[in-house]
Chain A
Amino acid sequence: MLYSLCFLLFMIGLYCVLVKKNMIKIVVGILLMEYAVNLFLVMLGWRKVADGAVAPIAAGGDLLDKAGTVSQLFVSRAVDPLPQALVLTSIVIGLGSLALMVAICIRTYEKYGTFDITRIRRLKG
């Protein structure tokens, strides 16, 4: 159910990219898609606190067994850390591409004097 809401958000972003005429709104649409995917990735490793979920840091206490390695209890309760690492990477990549995208929008505005993509049409054929 939650996953389908994520997918809905993704589709709203895609709709925005395909339908909107303003360059800035298109950029916002791409960001929406990106956030939907990030949310999806985080949810893959998600566990309820009520079920006793803990952060994936094996600090000590009953989470470590006698040999000093992580215990079975820890494995069954900790949140999956991998998707969080993925999301961090994808946020950084998103930041880079957002900066470039906004820079292109600003330069286009300087040249054409408008953000309306129906009026920025020199290339055709």
Chain B
Amino acid sequence: MSLNIPLPLFIALPLAVAFLLPLFGTKTRGFASFIAVLTTAALLVFSIFSFGRFEVYCVGRWTIPLGINLVLDGISALMLLTISIVSFAAILFSNRYMEQYTAKSKYLSLFLLMVTGMNGVVLSGDIFNLFVFLEIASIASYALVGFGCQHEELEAAFKYMVLGSVASMFVLFAVGVVYGNTGSLNMAVISKHVAENGLNTGLAFALALFIAGFGLKAALVPFHAWLPDAHPSAPAPISAMLSGVLIKALGIYSLSRIIFNVLGVSVPISWVLITLGLLSMVIGALLAIGQWDFKRLLAYSSISQIGYVMFGIGLAALILSKKGNPVWASLAMLGGLFHLMNHAVFKSLLFLTSGSIEMSTGTRQLKELGGLAEKLPITRSACTIASASIAGIPPFNGFWSKLILVIAAVQAGFYTLAAVTVFVSIVTLIMFLKVQRYVFLGELPENLKSVVEHRGLMAFAMIFLAVLCVLMGALVIYEPFRVVVLDNAVNALLDGLAYAGKVLNAQILNGQ
């Protein structure tokens, strides 16, 4: 069973629908949301069928050194699936949630533009094209953070936009430097050039700029200042998108693609990645535990979980560049990428439950809540499942990815790093016990006696993600799934500079 979806459809479909939606007025906005849901559902189906394929698409039939190309390999397919799952759930949720705001069709349009940008970043095989899609996704997300147009939203949007633009300028500068040094913008051609000639000073400078730029987009710790303001200020489904996939597609994915496949790994770079990962992990968790605003706590915990992903990827890079045992390298990479997927699912679920709680009670301050377990049963069970996943309690998905990361760190001989990973996991557990205690247990405040839960699509979106949290452990346990979904992605990155050969050969096989 295979459905050969042309790669540009992943970008063209949401783009076309995004420009169609603002035509709908307030009376027909139900129809607009129906089209938007249909689009994301279609993208979800397409991304499921994109597994196991390796394909190079040359835009306009211009072959590789001349034209722009799109590349679908294991890691792209994994990211596409993650983006589609989270955007499907978020758009189902926003169907009811966004009724609180005006201009819903404009919201949906910006939402789909963001999806377009992320799909483009993930598929692009050309660094300047990657920058363009990165800007599409970023500009849509700046506008969405400020969508409420209240004091806090505008302040957060401005802060996010300034730091985001600085990050984009770093990336564009780096793209220019790479072009000046290699004479090409195509990832495969640059990769081939690096494999033959090695890194010169200019390319090393570009690599530093890339790390700063994508690190800002991914909110790794020295660059994290904007995230705890921007993510809580956005409407809940957008927080879910931003924390769930945007920082991963624009930050982690782009950074690892550039480092592994284009410019090549080396020992110092791997240590930079591991340090960034560890700092984010520890500092994010310690800052999160003191928060009393539910969404702000979740935002800090995102920084900490992104640290896990970066740590796994950095560890794989270190083992790879030290010519260590490739099995350990792929184990560390597997842990990192699996945690990326898991984090997308459970963190977006947590943001959706926070939205559900905020909509029912009108507040998200933990101290003003309490005793909601019986009032909001679906939200409560979804939140409990997500908390158990993020804290790494078996058999939920977070447990497996953290276990793999710890095993990989121990196997490679980094006992201290493994201990830090476990320690942060315990801090995360405490943080989410606090959430459970203050939101769902304890006394029900007088003014919350009459709250009702919003059912329908909102509940469906939460149940969908909660079921995934339970079932995703199967991705590592059941071998055929693991080979298709995760191992392909791991190998795509670990192939390193062999990426160039694969892309260029695939192009010849296509007969173009």
Residues in chain A within 8 A of chain B (CB atoms): 10, 13-14, 17, 23, 26, 30, 33-34, 37, 40-41, 44, 82-83, 86, 89-90, 93, 96-97, 100-101, 104-105, 107-108, 111-112, 117, 120-123, 125
Are the CB atoms of B158 and A37 closer together than 8 Å?
Answer: no
CB neighbours of A23 from chain B (8 A): 158
Q: Chain B: residues with CB nearer than 8 A to chain A?
A: 128, 132, 135, 139, 142-143, 146, 149-152, 154-159, 161-162, 165-166, 168-169, 172-173, 175-176, 179-180, 185, 228-229, 233, 291, 293, 296
Cα-based distance from A90 to B143 in the complex (angstroms): 19
- Would B154 and A125 count as touching, CB distance under 8 A? no
Q: Please give, as numbers and ranges, the residues of chain A lying within 8 Å of B154 by CB-CB distance.
A: 104, 107-108, 111
29 chain-A/chain-B pairs, Cβ below 8 angstroms: A10-B169, A13-B169, A30-B162, A30-B166, A33-B166, A34-B169, A37-B172, A40-B176, A41-B176, A44-B179, A44-B180, A83-B176, A86-B175, A96-B135, A97-B142, A97-B161, A97-B168, A100-B143, A104-B142, A104-B157, A104-B158, A104-B161, A107-B146, A107-B149, A111-B150, A122-B152, A123-B229, A125-B291, A125-B293
Q: Could you tell me the distance in whole angstroms from the C-beta of B20 to the nearest C-beta in chain A? A: 20
Other than the known A30-B165, A104-B158, what 17 A-B pairs have Cβ atoms closer than 8 Å?
A10-B173, A30-B162, A30-B166, A30-B169, A37-B172, A90-B172, A97-B139, A97-B142, A100-B143, A100-B161, A101-B161, A104-B146, A104-B154, A107-B146, A107-B154, A120-B155, A125-B291
Which residues on B sit within 8 Å (CB–CB) of A41? Answer: 172, 176, 179
**Total of A-B residue pairs, C-beta within 8 Å:** 93
Beta-carbon nearest neighbor of A3 in chain B: B180
> Which of B151, B161, B176 has a CB less than 8 Å from the CB of A37?
B176
Nearest B residue to A39 via CB reads: B176
Contact present for A123 and B155 (CB under 8 Å): yes
Chain A residues contacting B159 (CB-CB under 8 Å) are 123
The 10 A-B pairs with the shortest beta carbon distances in the complex, nearest first, are: A33-B169, A108-B154, A123-B229, A44-B180, A41-B176, A93-B135, A30-B165, A37-B173, A37-B172, A111-B151
Question: Which residues of chain B have C-beta atoms less than 8 A from A104's C-beta?
Answer: 142, 146, 154, 157-158, 161
Nearest chain A CB to B172 CB, angstrom units? 5
Q: Which residues of A contact B179 (CB under 8 A)?
A: 41, 44, 82-83, 86
Chain A residues whose CB sits within 8 angstroms of the CB of B162 once the complex forms: 17, 26, 30, 101
Measured between beta carbons, the chain B residues less than 8 angstroms from A14 are 166
Query: Smallest CB-CB separation from B229: which chain A residue?
Result: A123
Closest to A41 in B: B176
Q: Say how far A27's CB is from chain B's closest CB, in angstroms.
A: 8
Closest to B228 in A: A125
Query: Complex formed: what's the CA distance from A121 to B291 in Å?
Result: 18
Q: Which residues of A are found within 8 Å of B293, using beta-carbon distances?
A: 125
Closest to A121 in B: B155
Closest Cβ of chain B: how far from A16's Cβ, in Å? 11
Closest-by-CB residue of B relative to A107 is B154
Contacts of A34 in B (CB 8 A): 165, 169
Q: In the complex, A37→B195 CA distance in Å?
A: 27
Which listed residue, B142, B155, B168, touches A122 by the CB 8 Å rule?
B155
Q: Which residue of B lies closest to A108 (CB)?
A: B154
